[in-house]
Every structure is written in C-alpha cells, then in structure tokens.
Amino acid sequence: MVVAFLVWPQTLVAADFADFLRETASRTHTIASDKDATAVFLKTFGSSLNLAKGRNQPPLPNKLTHHLSLFMSNLATWDLTHNLLTAFDQGKTALISSIPDHRQRHLEWLKQSQPDLPAVLTLAGTIAQLQPTEPATQPLSASYASFTQSLHEQYPNWTGTPDSWLTLAQTQGAAGVRNRLRDSWKRLPVQDGRHEPSPESDPAPSINRFLRQFFLPAATAYVRATLLQAHVRNEQQAWKHWRAIQQWSDDQKNEKGLRRLCGTWQWLIHNHQNHGDHKTIMIYPPPSQYHRMDPRPAAVRVQGDTVYIRWEFPGGIVQEESLLLSEKDQLLSGTFVNNLGPNGNITGRRVKPCREIGG
C-alpha cells in the first residue's frame, strides 16, 4: 500500500493521507528555504505528478511553487509536532530538547509560515529542562504549604498575562521559572519572631515538589494541546495544498490531451434508436480558446487515449460521449448516450490540423 502511495501519490484520498505523510515526512528534515522545499518536492513526487524538472524546461509558475513550499512546510511541521507529542507520551525529555536543537536552519525556515511555532518549542524545551533530577521522596520543609500558597496568591494566572507562569516560561525559559521560585522562597514571611524557613535552608525539595505538583502538569497539558492543534491544522493545510498541486497536475495532463483533440473533425453519428446516420463538422480549438466554442462542452477530459465529453443543452438535455483516439490521433471513435434515450456510435476523422485562433 505504501509503495503505491509513493509511486502514484495523486490517487490518494483523505482517509489515507496521514499514512502518506508519515511515510514521507522524514524527507523534509534538511529543508532550510523555499528553494529547498521545491527541490525536495520535485525529487520526491515530480515524476509521479508529471511535474517538469528538466534543465531545459520552463520554470514552474509561482502559484504552483507557492503550493509546493506550503505543502512541504505543513508536512515538516506535522512531522515535528508528531515527534514532540510522541516524546511527551513516552516521557523522553532529552528527545524533546534535542529535536529543535538538531534542526536550527530548518526551524528558521518553518517560522516564516508557522509563526506560532517558536513559542511552543520554547515552552516544550523549558518543560524538558525543568524535570527534577532529585527523587520525589526528598523530605519537605514544613513551610511547603506556605510556599505554594504564596506562589498561588502572587502569580494566580497560568496564561494570558505578562506575569503568568507560561508567559514566564516562554520568555525567560527554565532559568526564569527557577529564579521566581527561589525568590519566592526567600520572601516567605517571618513567623514567631524568626524567618521560616531560614534563608540558608535548601529550597530544592520544595521547588521540585511545586514543579512536579503544579507547574509541569499544567505546562505539559498546555503544550500537548497546542501541539495537537498544530498537528491537526497542518495535516488539514497539507491536504489542501496537495489537492491544489494535484489539480494543477491533472489540468496540465488534460491540457496536453486537449491539444491532441485540437483540430477540425468530420463526425459520423449513428443513432441506434432510428438507425439513422448524421454527418457533422466538429471544431476543437486549442485549450486556451475553449471559451470561444459555441456550443461549448460542459466538460472535456482526455486521459491517455480516452476522451470524455459532456454536453448540457437547454431543456435539461445531457449527452455524454466516450471516445478513443487512434491512428496517431487521426481517428476518434466511440459511443454516446443522452437522457432522452438515444444512444449510438460516433466515428470522427481529423480533416484539418489544429490552429490557433487569433484575437
């Protein structure tokens, strides 16, 4: 199944898309610019999507390269958030710190299209750095309850204000959080004529307990929720840009096919209902001139040698034609059917080559 994705990615449906992303995401790790993104995309998917990448080929249109770059950006961010969520699930704090450290140029590029990414990466790194190394069984000071109460009263907000805990973690990192905790420990009030605890007492057990009990659970829940939202959003955006690229590729293929159909044809139409034959001249212009046709087909699709034409006439009459190009595109034959009941055969022979229509 995965092999089919890599060979024929244009056949993907939304239900398979996450598997497709998972199989291809590692190819984004070296991307550090939009130019890199386009190059990696073309190397990975170019042949399957029929995207020109030869030296003498004209450059791809800006609208297409925009979709290519954003698809790769969404794919890379999808992979990054997936890896971070997995690291949190498995409790691998060293991996949480190492993922951003190993992709600095890559992340600088991602920030251009993912402006919220730096804040969540900073917070994830802060969480990893604040994991206590001392065992949770360390004896606590009798002042731990006063310590936590003082912190909750002085800094009641976890997010949304300049002095909230998560804002502090994002702007000043692990050092800022630990400095706040140490300063709050030192400022505990004097009780019964003495400072409790004494300034020389070790704050580490109480600080580590506060981190384990309050800060790390709240910060981790916030980061996980943010990463999950980004993960889902980037999968949705990747699908949108993939479909746009896919549509462009399909349109290019169809335009190439329409050029094979372009020209003047003499058609012989045989109606099975009355066994009558009708001759007519059909003129198919170059693809850029289809808007000049009168009447104009509602749809014309050319896939390989197969031609599908749909006509929609006044009065709700719909006719569909399924034809086949042969004899080096000089013969067109097949069948038609419409919603009034008639059906029959069509045989067309090219009598004049394609010509551009001026104006």
Q: Comparing C-alpha atoms, which of 224, 200, 208 is closest to residue 89? A: 224
Give the model's pLDDT for residue 198: 53
Residues 15 and 45 sit within 8 Å (Cβ to Cβ): no
CA dihedral (323, 326, 332, 335) positive or negative = negative
Give the model's pLDDT for residue 4: 34
Q: What is the C-alpha radius of gyration for the chain, rounded to an integer number of angstroms?
A: 33
Which one-letter amino acid corresponds to residue 155? Answer: Y
* Three-state DSSP class for residue 187: coil
Determine how β-strand 190-191 pairs with β-strand 194-195.
antiparallel
Where is 313: in which H helix or E strand?
strand 306-313
Question: Class of the 262-352 domain?
Answer: mainly beta
Q: Comparing C-alpha atoms, which of 167, 13, 216, 31 is closest to residue 108? A: 31
* Cross-strand partners of 300: 309
The pLDDT averaged over each successive group of 10 residues in the chain (359 residues) is 38 72 88 93 83 71 92 95 92 81 87 92 93 74 89 95 95 96 87 51 89 95 96 95 91 88 93 86 89 88 92 92 95 93 92 72
Q: Comparing C-alpha atoms, which of 77, 173, 82 is closest to residue 116? A: 77
Q: Which long-range contacts (CB under 8 A, 24 or more apart) does 113-118 make?
A: 113/69, 113/70, 113/73, 113/74, 114/73, 114/77, 114/230, 114/234, 116/226, 116/230, 117/77, 117/80, 117/230
Give the model's pLDDT for residue 132: 86
Give the model's pLDDT for residue 197: 52
Q: Quote the DSSP letter at residue 141.
A: P
Distance CA 293, CA 265 (A): 14
Give the model's pLDDT for residue 14: 61
Q: What predicted TM-score, i.e. pTM, was given to this entire model?
A: 0.77
Residues contacting 274, CB < 8 A, separation 6+: none
Give the model's pLDDT for residue 82: 93
How far is C-alpha 333 from the chain's CA centre? 42
Q: Comparing C-alpha atoms, which of 219, 214, 146, 141 is closest to residue 184? A: 146
Where are the domains positioned within the chain? 1-261, 262-352
Which one-letter amino acid corresponds to residue 345? Answer: N
Residues in the chain: 359
* Three-state DSSP class for residue 299: strand
